[in-house]
Structure 1
Amino acid sequence: MSGLLHDRDDAAAAPERPPAAATAASAPRLPAEAGSPRVVAVLSLLMAFASMSTDIYLPAFPALGADLGVSPGRIQLTLSGFLVGFSLGQLLWGPIGDRYGRRGPIAAGLVLFVLGSAGCALAGSAAEVIGWRVVQAVGACAGPVLARAMVRDLYARDRSAQVLSTLMLVMGIAPLLGPILGGQILEWWSWRGIFWVLVLFGLVALACLPLLPETLPPPLRSSLGLRESLFSYVAMARSRRLLGYALMGGCFYGGIYAYLAGTPFAYIEYHHVPATAYGLLFGVNIAGMMIANLINRRLVARFGSDRLLRVGALVAAASGIAVAVCARTGWGGLYGLVVPLFFYVSMLGFIVANSVAGALAAFPRKAGAASALVGATHYGSGVFSAAALGWFADGTPWTMAWMIAVLGVGTLLACLLLLRPARPEMA
């Protein structure tokens, strides 16, 4: 794929032009292999860091707490700590990627991820695990935030939604296999072995990075310093549509992380599901997400990303309410949770790719910063939902369930109130 493609929305907001050196006539051409399956595979690997870093160690929550002698709420802070680093780190890597290109910052992030994973494996207390999880997360987030920006470098809005769906379809293998792999490592090794596997995962990604072309040539890079770029987040947050996409994804991800932090105890401890079987239940939901991504990829060009986004928000709200009703009444037992959670998690296939594509279309000249702002909102909401789950835990699935219901309804409200048809803004 050569050059930079811009969609109709970009053309509608065309008063701002890139510098003369970066016009279509003079911009360096991107490598011909930029759209190859090899590049898609590496981008999928980079976007898998969030799910791989969290999902693989979920079955180890009870064992981790027992080994370190701390409560389940304390262990859930290892997830909250990761989300703090992952959300705030994106705000740093986005502007760096806009100024210095994509590949160099990704490499730096991968090195940091490897160090943080090794620190977790060697930790002797819960506090040390939480601290190293923050370091791990700051490195891990460089991959997803800049991979999304690279997609925007290459493709127009609806096409970028298709490509993001493809990436999420491919990277769905990570959360599908993560809990299953984590359960097996726990069975034959220990929770520390899980983090050594993450060290290996980071090293593999670092070795694959040379296969990825640089998608942001020097003439197209931002001239703003890091301080000015960070201040520009304030101006970007004033965009109603960007705010709508960010809040919608943030509410939905809040529910996802309530699910991630809550189901190990709801399934394994409350409903006595074996750790290995937990991975299978988790994998069914990821399969649903992958199917939804495939459907989204096929339909987005026909119906548009915003329309599919509304469908996803509606299903997320309805399934969240169903989870709460089943948890409160006990109707259906284990499967009263499993079935509606399947539909909620599956909507990730409609909501994430389309909301990210819409946000990046609003600020195509600052794709790294826009990707970071949206990503920080998405994962930052998980900080509060995972922490709140520990604060309000009552020993039953009810806390997880009502949080998912509230956040599912919030997803729908953000979609209906903030995403009215409007012309995108150009940064």
Structure 2
Amino acid sequence: MNLTILILGLLTAFGPLSIDMYLPALPGIAKDFAVPLASVQLSLASFLVGIALGQIFYGPITDRWGRKKPLYVGLITYALASFACASTFDVNGLIFYRFMQALGACAGMVITRAMVRDLYQSHESAKVFSLLMLIMGVAPILAPVMGGILTTAFGWRSIFWILTVISLMALFCVYKFLPETHKPDVKYGVKDIFRNYIGIFKDKNFTGYTLSMSLVYAGMFAYITGSPFVFIDHYGLTPAQYAWVFGANACGLITFSQINGRILRKHPPEKILVRALPFVTIFGVMILIVGLTNGPIWAMCGCLFLIISNMGLIAPNTSACALAHQKKHAGSASALMGTIQFAVAGIISSLVSHFHNGTILTMTAIMCICGVLSYLAYLLLVKRRAL
């Protein structure tokens, strides 16, 4: 693995690090600010909204101005916002600075994909994306563990100090070692941006697969938003113990995504989705029953493991199917897909915070609803067209 790929991997990890690393600290932040947990959970929702808004702009900006200049802006924004998160003494400030942090994190997420396409041919780029996906899978395992350890030893602010340092290190590496891979294109105008996005929306398969995937993704973010309360406050786990539970679910996601790669050798992604998508409804009903009956921790952990692991079969295949007919505008389609994903996730995350009532039912009910709607989106927008 060469230095360029290592730097791209670091940039790819900013999203999961920013989301997962501070999850064990949410109850502690609420106590420190003397506010309800739901107020602190809005800082996660604001981050998701920032991710959703930022992605749709970075793609066209990098096509117009090159890759490295927007990346500098993004990393500097991220570093300043992380510093502000570590320094704030007000929950509203944390919510705003997390939004700004997300706008910075977008740069690494979007520009990394563009630079891989610039540097490598299709066969080689597939291998590089596989390595980057592995990093995306490992980061959610390590991030909450690191966050739990830092919170216990040094307090929650240390998490954002570490993120500040990491972003400054990434900025130095990008400046010193990462090549510019795309020259500015002065001919690329605003009309081209809107024309491309309108054309993508006309592809009903893209819309159907993207909505189905986004709702599954939103169910996972309902879990991310609600699980600190469920496991730390309700079930009484320590932040470190919660981090291990979170990591175990991430391991399930990685394992099933690797199984998916093997299944794809014999079966197309559409066939895998026909088998996997009904289970989002089945598992959703199961976790709703746990919420309604105030079930034991082992039942909650089992249901969550099944739901998160099943995403390893759904996420890569819905992505492939959605982009199958967007080869000419794959970059814009990828950015639009990411925007829709995080917009839906941000809305769902806000709902978990808004309807939080001190029980585990809020998280489980919203996860169930997301699962049912995801399968319905597939049945109504995709499968019906294939019949």
Question: TM-score, normalised to structure 2's length?
Answer: 0.90
Distance of aligned partners of 1:262 and 1:347 in 2 relative to their CA distance in 1, 3 Å threshold: same
Task: Say yes or no: does 1:418 pair with 2:381.
Answer: yes
Task: Say yes or no: does 1:255 pair with 2:211.
Answer: no
| The one of 82, 99, 115 aligned to 2:47 | 82
Alignment correspondent of 1:49: 14
- Match of 1:272, SS state, is coil
- Match of 1:364, SS state, is coil
| The one of 92, 103, 107 aligned to 1:142 | 107
Amino acid at match of 1:352: A
Cα offset for 1:120? 0.7
CA distance in 2, matches of 1:375, 1:389: 21
- Range that drifts further, 409-418 or 55-64: 409-418
Cα offset for 1:287? 0.6
Cα offset for 1:147? 2.6
CA distance in 1, matches of 2:324, 2:159: 38
After superposition, give the CA deviation of every residue in 1:265-307 in whole Å (9 maximum; x if it has no partner): 0100011111110000000001111112222233334322333
Cα offset for 1:116? 1.1
CA distance in 1, matches of 2:158, 2:225: 20
Alignment correspondent of 1:5: none
Alignment correspondent of 2:172: 207
Question: Does the Cα contact within 8 Å between 2:12 and 2:109 map onto a contact in 1?
Answer: yes
After superposition, give the CA deviation of every residue in 1:186-245 in whole Å (9 maximum; x if it has no partner): 111111111011112212332343555555566xx6943246414642332221121123
Task: Say yes or no: does 1:302 pair with 2:266.
Answer: yes
CA distance in 2, matches of 1:314, 1:330: 25
Question: Does the Cα contact within 8 Å between 1:186 and 1:193 map onto a contact in 2?
Answer: yes
- Range that drifts further, 86-95 or 240-249: 240-249
Distance of aligned partners of 1:226 and 1:190 in 2 relative to their CA distance in 1, 3 Å threshold: farther
CA distance in 2, matches of 1:96, 1:366: 15
Paired residues, number: 384
Alignment correspondent of 2:236: 272
Alignment correspondent of 2:369: 406
Output aligned runs, 1:216-235, within 5 Å: 216=182, 223-226=187-190, 228-230=192-194, 232-235=196-199
Q: Which runs of 5+ in 2 are unaligned?
A: none
Alignment correspondent of 1:319: 283
Distance of aligned partners of 1:379 and 1:175 in 2 relative to their CA distance in 1, 3 Å threshold: same
- Range that drifts further, 367-376 or 349-358: 349-358
Cα offset for 1:40? 4.2
Cα offset for 1:369? 1.8
Distance of aligned partners of 1:360 and 1:256 in 2 relative to their CA distance in 1, 3 Å threshold: same
Alignment correspondent of 1:72: 37
- Match of 1:302, SS state, is coil
After superposition, give the CA deviation of every residue in 1:338-360 in whole Å (9 maximum; x if it has no partner): 11111211233223333333334
Alignment correspondent of 1:378: 341
Amino acid at match of 1:410: L
Alignment correspondent of 1:369: 332
Cα offset for 1:383? 1.2
Alignment correspondent of 1:191: 156
Task: Say yes or no: does 1:91 pair with 2:91.
Answer: no
Cα offset for 1:365? 3.1
Distance of aligned partners of 1:212 and 1:60 in 2 relative to their CA distance in 1, 3 Å threshold: same
Output aligned runs, 1:283-298, within 5 Å: 283-298=247-262
Alignment correspondent of 1:132: 97
Cα offset for 1:73? 1.1
Alignment correspondent of 2:79: 114
Alignment correspondent of 2:207: 243
CA distance in 2, matches of 1:244, 1:290: 25
CA distance in 2, matches of 1:305, 1:159: 21
- Match of 2:264, SS state, is helix
Question: Does the Cα contact within 8 Å between 1:389 and 1:400 map onto a contact in 2?
Answer: yes
Question: TM-score, normalised to structure 1's length?
Answer: 0.82
CA distance in 2, matches of 1:160, 1:314: 32
- Let me know the Cα RMSD of the aligned residues: 2.6
Distance of aligned partners of 1:149 and 1:300 in 2 relative to their CA distance in 1, 3 Å threshold: farther
